[in-house]
Amino acid sequence: MLDLTAGYGMFLSDEHEMLRRTVRDFAEREVAPHIRTWDRSGGEHTEGPEDRPHIRPILKRMGELGLLGICIPQKYGGAGMDYLALAVVCEELERVDSFLRVVISVHTGLNSLSLFQWGSAEQKQRYLIPQAKGELLAGYCLTEPNSGTDAVAMQATARRDGDDYILNGEKIWISLADIADTFLVIAKTDPTKGARGISAFIVERTMPGVASYPLHGKLGMRAGNTGGLVLQDVRVPLANRLGEEGEGFKIAMAALDNGRYTVAAGATGLIQASLEASLKYAEERHSFGGPIADHQLVKRMISHMVRKLDTSRLLVYRAGWMKNQGQRNTRETTLAKWHATVSSFECADDAIQIHGAYGYSDEYPVERYLRNARGGIIYEGTRELQELLQADFALGRRISPPLRCELPAYDPTEWGA
């Protein structure tokens, strides 16, 4: 079979390819043989993380492999690789199942990279280092029951009380809600100031007043944990505020630049999975005297998958290269996320069509690919939002102004790779 990851030497080094093989071996050996069972059990109305006993051992193993801190400098407990390595990890994890990539998106992309970008020296020592080592698991809390894309409409509040803040509110659609040890929570410190009245906080699960609950009946990513987080008079020390007061909206949007990058990379891996499954089945399945791979319309679907795989991967790697250079990449990351997630759903849909009736059952993985792919078109910025952003960038109505704290450029010497 054609090597679907070849031809990207302009972006990737030998070390990246070694990483790809390591992650692929891990995912195929320790997850792929069990994922259908985990997905099936996750589709039932379970009560919490104890009903998914596979999660903690898998996350522990990911931590041991250095995947949870892959692009965090070694001095902060990470593997010291670059942002392109983060994309490679996400590709290979979602090639087997999306729930694995979601862990990286939330723990590393949304939370740990935010601490790396905005955190104080003390916050990095206390939280970033154990998170990069996999000793602590981290979540990200922006969405609420009545606010998603319109984040400024959030209702969670953080009221200053001496050297503390008192947090109240509810967050929903939180990955690792029942499992994470720490959360990056975005809340309003001054509801009269709109986006400038929002701040960010590091909240520990063990703080009094923090509670979580699981969400039931998800369409996809059933093997992972998703839920809500309730904050009731949670006292958070001033030292746990990330960035300055009123800077939370910028922090949240900067986090989404990293999160969308990981989602786009993962969607690229899902496209590859759909293509690989389709190539294999098209050669095995015979009709009208030969393999269905001989049929022109099947070839057409396969060729479209190839096109979408290469364009998605190139868009992701361009964004990763820009991150390595320390360049703002909101437009490029947004475009990659939009293109790759929509393409992953279309490719999974075509993969089901190629598999025929078998594609409609979980005897083959392509129906799971379709269910998982649908979420990516919604979370971390809907398809419609990405379209509007791209138009506004093209029209010159949107720019990416400098941030007080930029995401650090990759420095192999300083990062210790």
Rounded Cα distance, 355 and 412, in Å: 45
Instruction: Answer for the pair 261, 328: CB distance below 8 angstroms, yes or no.
Output: no
The percent helix, strand, coil of the chain (3-state, each to 5) is 55, 15, 30
Return the SS3 of 71. Answer: coil
R_g of the chain computed on alpha carbons: 21
Q: Which residue has the tokens 């969607």?
A: 267
Tokens, residue 262:
């990981």
| Beta strand pairing call for 290-291 and 241-242 | unpaired
> Per-residue DSSP letters for 251-298?
HHHHHHHHHHHHHHHHHHHHHHHHHHHHHHHHHH-EETTEEGGGSHHH
The closest alpha carbon to 317, from 2, 8, 7, 1, belongs to 8
Judge whether 380 counts as a catalytic residue: yes
Rounded Cα distance, 319 and 328, in Å: 9
CA distances from 232 to 97, 137, 180, 237, 348 (A): 34, 22, 18, 15, 41
Burial of 57 (C-beta count, 10 Å sphere; 0-12/13-18/19+): exposed
CA distances from 144 to 105, 160, 164 (A): 19, 21, 23
Length of the chain, please? 417
Return the SS3 of 39. Answer: helix
Q: Which residues pair with 158 in a beta bridge?
A: 167
| Beta strand pairing call for 290-291 and 138-141 | unpaired
Q: Which residues pair with 170 in a beta bridge?
A: 230
Q: Which residue has the tokens 């050297």?
A: 163
Tokens, residue 231:
């904050």
Q: Which of 332, 380, 384, 406 is catalytic?
A: 380
Amino acid at 270: L
Instruction: Give the H/E segment covering residue 373.
Output: helix 366-376
The residues assigned a catalytic role are 380
